[in-house]
């Protein structure tokens, strides 16, 4: 038989282990709460499943809930093949769009490690040690981050979606894997070409002048960068990047998006472009695109955009558009 003093000790230990509302983050409110069955919040029970909940034992009414999980975030992210890329216990702060970021924690957390120095004249100076984190960042990681910022600013000026931005970063990653040291204007041109090829691969090609203006560089650097990029990717598995989406018919998607037209308009324009490619071979590609787009808009009984708006967006003169429009009208008759 257990002695009374020992039983009392076991009872006190059990009571100490039982979670209280205060210990669980569920502070008692100023006014007492009651559920529909008439029970008071003071009579409620605390349940951990998985969050801390104060509820009525009879009807299950929740008086108060603390749904903030304080546990570490477990790293359970796996590739499509079910393989875990990171063996660390918890998820790290690795940047998803930087392949050179290994996700290691910073050595000096921001605002935590502050060192105070005393100058020879007795003045105290505080120094934030987090500024030294840049010393521990690998060169490739920092260089890729710098180029990512350049591509991001260029995409914002072009109004390109995130999918194109991500693709441009992946193209630049393939460039960095070649191990070729490039500086100056040619490097700027290659970075701009990554965005240009990403737009073409998304069937939303851009003129070199637009790319140059978005990246605030000379258009000649884009031409120089294209030559170097072509030498890098020629004969490799990434050679398709140089030629994909190079047809003039693919430019319809860009103008359809700019003029806020339905997707089917662009597809019909491409079909007409390919159908009368031989008959309209003497017409300049840009004029042909403008005339076909104006004809399809008119044939689809759309009131907008007008021919004047189409001329402004594609940058052709109205007489040229009218001429192509009439030629196409006779071919379709």
Give per-residue pLDDT as tens, 284-309.
Answer: 778 888 999 999 999 988 888 999 99
Closest CA to 44 of 64, 29, 68: 64
Asked if 232 and 147 sit in the same domain, the reply is: yes
Which of the 8 DSSP states describes residue 84?
Answer: B
Range of 129's domain?
103-137
Asked if 233 and 149 sit in the same domain, the reply is: yes
Question: The domain that contains 296 carries what CATH number?
Answer: 1.10.472.10
Number of domains in the chain: 4
Overall average pLDDT of the 312-318 stretch: 88
The pLDDT, as a whole number, for residue 253 is: 78
The pLDDT, as a whole number, for residue 133 is: 65
Asked if 147 and 218 sit in the same domain, the reply is: yes
Overall average pLDDT of the 56-62 stretch: 70
Residue 9 has pLDDT above 50, yes or no: no
Q: Could you tell me if residue 157 is inside a domain? A: yes
Overall average pLDDT of the 64-77 stretch: 56
The pLDDT, as a whole number, for residue 96 is: 66
Q: Give the side-chain half-sphere CA count within 13 A for 13.
A: 6
Residue, of 94 and 333, whose pLDDT is higher: 333
Q: Could you tell me if residue 87 is inside a domain? A: no
Closest CA to 205 of 217, 215, 193: 193
Q: Could you tell me if residue 271 is inside a domain? A: yes
Q: Could you tell me if residue 97 is inside a domain? A: no
The pLDDT, as a whole number, for residue 30 is: 38
- The H or E element that residue 263 is part of is helix 263-275
Asked if 219 and 145 sit in the same domain, the reply is: yes
Q: Could you tell me if residue 277 is inside a domain? A: yes
Out of 243, 269, 289, pick the residue that ends a domain: 243
Residue 102 has pLDDT above 80, yes or no: no
Alpha helix (H) residue ranges in 108-207? 139-158, 162-177, 184-201
Asked if 152 and 226 sit in the same domain, the reply is: yes
Asked if 144 and 239 sit in the same domain, the reply is: yes
Q: Could you tell me if residue 76 is inside a domain? A: no
Residues 148-170 have pLDDT tens digits of 999 999 999 998 888 899 999 99
- What's the chain's average pLDDT? 75
Out of 195, 221, 243, pick the residue that ends a domain: 243
Out of 199, 220, 243, pick the residue that ends a domain: 243
The pLDDT, as a whole number, for residue 169 is: 92
Residue 64 has pLDDT above 80, yes or no: no
Q: How far is CA 19 from CA 15, 25, 280, in A?
A: 8, 10, 82
Asked if 217 and 302 sit in the same domain, the reply is: no
Asked if 144 and 131 sit in the same domain, the reply is: no
Calpha distance 294→322 (Å, rounded): 9
The pLDDT, as a whole number, for residue 74 is: 56
Residues 202-220 have pLDDT tens digits of 878 788 888 999 999 988 8
Q: How confident is the model at residue 86 (pLDDT cuts 50, 70, 90)?
A: low
Residue 87 has pLDDT above 70, yes or no: no
Asked if 229 and 269 sit in the same domain, the reply is: no
Residues 111-142 have pLDDT tens digits of 655 667 777 887 877 777 666 666 667 788 88
| 3-state class (DSSP) for residue 179 | coil
The pLDDT, as a whole number, for residue 23 is: 47
Per-residue exposure over 229-261, b if at least 16 CB sit within 10 Å of its own CB, e if not: beebbeeeebeebbeebebebbbbbbbbeebeb
The pLDDT, as a whole number, for residue 287 is: 86
Calpha distance 83→54 (Å, rounded): 40
Q: Could you tell me if residue 217 is inside a domain? A: yes
The pLDDT, as a whole number, for residue 25 is: 46
Calpha distance 282→309 (Å, rounded): 24
Residue, of 2 and 226, whose pLDDT is higher: 226
Residues 10-23 have pLDDT tens digits of 455 455 444 444 44
The answer to whether 147 and 172 are in contact (CB under 8 A) is yes
Q: Could you tell me if residue 44 is inside a domain? A: yes
**What percentage of the chain reaches a pLDDT higher than 70?**
65
């Amino acid at each position: 038989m257990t002695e009374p003093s020992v039983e009392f000790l076991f009872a006190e230990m059990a009571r100490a282990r039982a979670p209280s509302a205060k210990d669980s983050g569920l502070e008692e409110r100023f006014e007492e709460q009651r559920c529909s069955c008439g029970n008071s919040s003071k009579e409620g029970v605390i349940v951990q499943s998985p969050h801390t909940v104060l509820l009525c034992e009879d009807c299950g009414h929740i008086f108060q809930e603390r749904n903030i999980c304080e546990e570490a975030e477990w790293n359970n992210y796996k590739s499509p093949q079910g393989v875990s890329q990171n063996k660390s216990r918890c998820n790290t702060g690795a940047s998803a769009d930087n392949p050179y970021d290994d996700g290691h924690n910073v050595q000096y957390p921001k605002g935590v490690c502050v060192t105070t120095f005393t100058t020879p004249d007795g003045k105290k100076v505080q120094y934030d040690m987090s500024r030294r984190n840049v010393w521990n960042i690998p060169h490739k990681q920092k260089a890729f981050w710098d180029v990512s910022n350049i591509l991001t600013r260029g995409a914002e000026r072009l109004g390109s979606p995130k999918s194109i931005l991500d693709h441009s970063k992946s193209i630049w990653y393939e460039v960095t894997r070649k191990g070729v040291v490039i500086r100056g204007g040619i490097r700027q041109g290659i970075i701009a070409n990554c965005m240009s090829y990403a737009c073409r691969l998304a069937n939303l090609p851009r003129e070199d002048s637009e790319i140059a203006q978005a990246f605030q560089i000379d258009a000649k650097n884009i031409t120089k960068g294209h030559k170097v990029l072509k030498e890098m990717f020629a004969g490799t598995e990434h050679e398709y990047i140089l030629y994909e989406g190079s047809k003039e018919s693919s430019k319809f998607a860009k103008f359809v998006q700019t003029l806020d037209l339905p997707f089917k308009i662009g597809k019909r324009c491409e079909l007409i472009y390919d159908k009368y490619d031989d008959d309209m071979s003497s017409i300049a590609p840009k004029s042909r695109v403008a005339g076909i787009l104006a004809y399809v808009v008119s044939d689809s009984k759309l009131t907008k955009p007008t021919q004047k708006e189409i001329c402004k967006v594609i940058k052709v003169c109205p007489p040229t558009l009218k001429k192509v429009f009439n030629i196409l009208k006779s071919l379709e008759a």
